[in-house]
Structure 1
Amino acid sequence: MPRLLIVSPHFPPVNTPDMQRVRMSLPYFVDAGWEVVVLTVDDRQPLAPVEPDLLATVPRPVRVVRTGAFSRNWSRYLGMNNLGLRTLPHLYLRGRQLLKKEAFDLVYFSTTQFIVCVLGRVWHMEFDTPYVIDLQDPWLSDYYQQPGAPPPPGGWKYHFSHALAKHLERWTLRQCAHVVSVSGHYLLALRQRYRWFHEDSGSVLTFGAPDEDFAVAREKRTTAPALLPATASIKIAYAGRLGPDMRPALDVLFAAIARFKDAPRPFELFFFGTSYAPAGQGAASTTDLAARHGISHLVHEKTARIGYIDSLRIMLETDLALLLGSEDRAYSPSKVYPTLLASRPTLAVAPANSVLEAKIQELGGAALITFAPGAGGAADAAQNLSALLAGFAGNPGRPLGAPPQLAVLEQQYSAAAIARRQLEVFNRLIARSRTTPPPLPVAEYWPTLPPLQP
């Protein structure tokens, strides 16, 4: 039986985006006959929301090992709230104990706390255990160095983190057995940056659609109070980050919504969990833009993070689900797949040639409005969006865009499909191991993918 050690500092009941790939893959790893140990952090002061419902989605055979972290009561005086920095020595020691006492075929880092990935090379030097790194975001990002980009947030902390990433990424990836990434742009950047990083050094694995989680969300919806108010307006809802890279898409949306502000049944916008800042400390992303378009009374934003299951419930409750594209052409929005699975009328607003545009063109299931750079492109897009919204207002609830390609979603983007592709990577890497018999081909123990439950 192959043995896998997963390092994920965030893990249920704490809810963060960077642990969702691991959480959704675990049932399929177990079904495939893998013995899995998750090394995570027992953070008694989490910045992210705590969501006990997620614990029920972790298979019982998975052993979860929790280690400590330095308290924020003193680390905050050093300006150090980052969980990766606070837990690094604890993770190192606990991981070292596990690798010394037990034989693991592979170590898998799936996190955006990139500083902990250096432990892969440290442990590899001592135990010769291969390691894989999952890049859900770029470790070393050049977004704020691009022409026209806004100034980076965080002041000296950003410049320190950027300099640290520049050195640690190179050192860590040099001995990494394989890199999986949600975006091919990230792998291309690595190939351009390092001569020794080749095309076969990494694989593109997008986020998976949460096919099993919607059953939990639908059940909770029958017992919990509604998250959206019972108003006469047509509700458009969005749950997730709203960064400056999404502001152009937001501007197009608000310009179109403003044309209906005096309608008998206007459109009303609800944004949830738009900031990664601790509850009560996040800055609203929509206030000034809504005021400029004269629709402040129609725009409601809650910056505090919400539970993952609640974010799915919002998609089920809304009249019109919303997807926003990013100016960062490499950004791969994970919420595309759950939004399409919710089977609600969906609107996508994205820059031309963005990842979101490509995904909607491939998968359907949403009306797509794209815009070119510049004021002219945004004005044309707002005009097109206004026409689309006028048609929807006359017949709320009708599907928008091309029908969703559920077969493609099932075969390529479901949680089961993404887990299967991870296992194919893992199997290739451990095939030469001296301590483990050659693994069976994936098709032998998992011949067909389970069907999606839309």
Structure 2
Amino acid sequence: MQRVRMSLPYFENFGWQAEVVTVAPPYTDMAQDELLLQSVPTFVKVHTVKALNKSFTSKIGLGSIALRSLWYYRQKINRILKKQKFDLIYFSTTQFPVCILGAYWKKRFGIPYVIDMQDPWHSDYYINKPKSQRPPKYWFAYRLNKYLEPIAIKNVDGLVSVSAGYVSQLKSRYPQIKNVPSAVITFGAFAPDLQIAVQNGGRFPSLLNEGYFNMVYAGRGGTDLHQAIRPVFEAFKIVLKHDFAKYSKIRFHFIGTSYAPTGQGQATILPLALQLGLENYVTELTGRISYYHTLLTLQQANALLIPGSDDPQYTASKIFPYLLTGKPVLAIFNKASSAIPILNDYGVQHVYNYDEVSEADLLTFFDQLSNNNFNHTEYNTDAVAKYSAVEMTRAQCLLFNQIVNGYR
């Protein structure tokens, strides 16, 4: 959703007029933020669809918004396509089951379609993990994804992805798409969002500790982040022991770490802090907060932490809101992650891979943080322009042009 939302103001700049079809708010149980509408241009036409009521479908174990809305998407877009001519259908969502409709509409109406792979769809990543580390209903989701993914991917006309690894994996799995156009496009930096967050700051309670140095990470948790977080915690233990009075004011906040409904999420970062004896310095809020509450909290922080997964394909496509704040950033990723060269392009000072980050690197960061030696960060202006939302929209439209011109 975020990629398209950030692109909507700019599609027409590159010759494309977009209409959006989405699930109506009453039918989703996901965190809702009406402020998102402030960034959607009024000239964009938005259609909404219904979904089966979760209070009924959950009784048979069906909670996915994609599956609950699939029939309604089919019916609604059938009516739209009968009335108007469209050049392309663009799926940009992590609710991947909806994408199987692309093959149906392509066959019925002759319209090519593109899928945006923001995450892996069918993945073996968790198959050998302990049950406690797997997502909820993994057994069912794994088998469903294995069945649905080929329906959508074998007929796709183009792929967008945040990771080159996602594209190469799909083209290897499905040889019939090896020549379809594809593009690796990160999420763009969309500065208006930070302004909207500040302008509406009175709506949101503060989640940070006044009078402390607050270091914030907002995003999903998981044990796959431990390799990136552990060296940070271990270095923090060292500086605490060296000069307790100086460093004991630092607090770590991990916010929105679970996709489970509020109050039902299991902490995945706090157990690591407990293991290292740092539970008094680490707060984990598993419940998701709204997008703009997140952006406001990032701006209120003293410094930001971006830990990457041990999955080398993990891209942390949400790094740009962190960078837009101008706050000090400590980023640690798998050495193969595409986030590292992006952060280096920007000129972020403290970017490391967890195999090579040294104790000295992290001690330097904590020393700078406690001494308040960070000034408002000025990033490489070429990188700021290169990764802006408008340039990411341009890249999408170039791919759309290639697909449509080749389809005629």
Q: Do the structures match in fold with TM over 0.5?
A: yes
Does 1:210 pair with 2:187?
no
Matched residues in 2 for 1:213 and 1:154: separation?
30
Does 1:427 pair with 2:404?
no
Does 1:227 pair with 2:209?
no
- Aligned-residue Cα RMSD (Å) equals 2.2
Does 1:158 pair with 2:141?
no
Matched residues in 2 for 1:124 and 1:353: separation?
36
Q: What runs of 5+ residues in structure 2 fail to find an aligned partner?
A: none
Matched residues in 1 for 2:204 and 2:89: separation?
41
Corresponding letter in the other structure for 1:171:
I
Correspondence for 1:286? 269
Cα pair distance change 1:203/1:33, threshold 3 Å: closer
Matched residues in 2 for 1:270 and 1:350: separation?
18
User: Secondary structure, in 3 states, of the residue corresponding to 2:89?
Assistant: strand
Matched residues in 2 for 1:317 and 1:237: separation?
9
Measure how far apart 1:382 and its partner are: 4.2
Matched residues in 2 for 1:245 and 1:331: separation?
10
Correspondence for 1:363? 346
Does 1:410 pair with 2:367?
no
Matched residues in 1 for 2:159 and 2:195: separation?
32
Measure how far apart 1:355 and its partner are: 2.8
Matched residues in 2 for 1:170 and 1:62: separation?
32
Cα pair distance change 1:396/1:318, threshold 3 Å: farther
Correspondence for 1:449? none
Measure how far apart 1:57 and its partner are: 1.0
Does 1:258 pair with 2:237?
yes
Measure how far apart 1:82 and its partner are: 0.6
Q: Is the 8 A contact 1:232 1:265 kept in 2?
A: no
**Aligned equivalent of 1:394, options 365, 368, 371:** 371
Task: Tell me the alpha carbon deviations over residues 321-374 of structure 1, each in whole angstroms, 9 at most, x when there is no partner.
Answer: 1111110100111221111111111111223333333332232224123322xx
Matched residues in 1 for 2:299 and 2:381: separation?
17
Q: What runs of 5+ residues in structure 1 fail to find an aligned partner?
A: 1-18, 435-454
Q: Is the 8 A contact 2:181 2:399 kept in 1?
A: no
Matched residues in 2 for 1:181 and 1:399: separation?
32
Measure how far apart 1:416 and its partner are: 0.4
Q: Is the 8 A contact 2:162 2:315 kept in 1?
A: yes
Matched residues in 2 for 1:398 and 1:355: separation?
26
Q: Is the 8 A contact 1:241 1:275 kept in 2?
A: yes
User: Secondary structure, in 3 states, of the residue corresponding to 2:253?
Assistant: strand
Cα pair distance change 1:138/1:153, threshold 3 Å: same
Q: Is the 8 A contact 1:134 1:179 kept in 2?
A: yes
What are the equivalent positions in structure 2 for 1:333-372 lying under 5 Å apart? 333-372=316-355
Correspondence for 1:24? 6
Correspondence for 1:34? 16
Measure how far apart 1:404 and its partner are: 2.5
Q: Is the 8 A contact 2:126 2:134 kept in 1?
A: no
Cα pair distance change 1:335/1:154, threshold 3 Å: closer
Measure how far apart 1:289 and its partner are: 1.2
TM-score (ref. length: structure 1): 0.83
Cα pair distance change 1:432/1:325, threshold 3 Å: closer
Measure how far apart 1:433 and its partner are: 6.5
Does 1:246 pair with 2:228?
no
Matched residues in 2 for 1:45 and 1:88: separation?
12
Does 1:78 pair with 2:53?
no
Task: Tell me the alpha carbon deviations over residues 121-167 of structure 1, each in whole angstroms, 9 at most, x when there is no partner.
Answer: 01111111111111101111121247xx5546257x32332223223
Does 1:312 pair with 2:291?
no
Tell me which of the two structures has the higher relative contact order, counting C-alpha pairs closer than 8 angstroms and 6 or more residues apart. Answer: 2
User: Secondary structure, in 3 states, of the residue corresponding to 2:10?
Assistant: helix
* Worse overlay, 386-395 or 175-184: 386-395
**Aligned equivalent of 2:215, options 236, 240, 243:** 236
**Aligned equivalent of 2:170, options 187, 190, 212:** 190
Q: Is the 8 A contact 1:43 1:69 kept in 2?
A: no
Matched residues in 2 for 1:192 and 1:159: separation?
24
Matched residues in 1 for 2:176 and 2:87: separation?
24
Correspondence for 1:179? 159
Q: Is the 8 A contact 1:216 1:309 kept in 2?
A: yes
Matched residues in 2 for 1:354 and 1:428: separation?
28
Measure how far apart 1:395 and its partner are: 3.3
TM-score (ref. length: structure 2): 0.92
Task: Tell me the alpha carbon deviations over residues 187-213 of structure 1, each in whole angstroms, 9 at most, x when there is no partner.
Answer: 111122122222553211111112221
* Worse overlay, 229-238 or 172-181: 229-238
Q: Is the 8 A contact 1:133 1:176 kept in 2?
A: yes
Q: Is the 8 A contact 1:228 1:317 kept in 2?
A: no
User: Secondary structure, in 3 states, of the residue corresponding to 2:268?
Assistant: coil
Q: Is the 8 A contact 2:105 2:111 kept in 1?
A: yes
Does 1:328 pair with 2:311?
yes
